[in-house]
Amino acid sequence: DVRIPLATYAFEKEPAPGPAVFGIRPEHVAFNSGTGWPFAATANVEVVEPMGSDTLVWLKLGGQNFTVRVTSERTPKNGDPISVGFDPMRASLFDAQTGNRI
């Protein structure tokens, strides 16, 4: 179970009760950068996808796929435990039924 703090999230409109989809861009996630983040977790690397100067690192976090963009010089290996952190204000929430941003 993963809990992401959203107390200061800037909703575009009052959300309806029900499930939501959380989304954050891979470049907005910090990789092995310490503990000063509103949200931080540790997960094992599942897939490493070299993309030239950057690498996409795929993890499972709370049973969901999660992608982090890292520089090629900092690329972990499959199975490595890594810490990730981000500011939930950089994320977006979407209504699970309509797909609209909330």
Query: What's the pLDDT band for 86 if we cut at 50, 70, 90?
Result: confident
Q: Is the pLDDT of residue 7 over 80?
A: no
Q: How many CB atoms lie within 10 A of CB 74?
A: 12
Residue 57 is predicted with a pLDDT of: 94
Residue 1 pLDDT > 70, yes or no? no
The domains of the chain are located at 20-95
Confidence of residue 4 (pLDDT cuts 50, 70, 90): confident
Q: What is the pTM of this model?
A: 0.75
CA atoms lying within 13 Å on the CB side of residue 70? 25
Q: Are 73 and 61 in contact (CB under 8 A)?
A: no
Record: fold of 20-95:
OB fold (Dihydrolipoamide Acetyltransferase, E2P) (2.40.50)
Q: What is the DSSP string of 15-39?
A: PPSS-EEEE--GGGSEES--S-SSE
Burial (Cβ within 10 Å: 0-12, 13-18, ≥19) of residue 96:
exposed
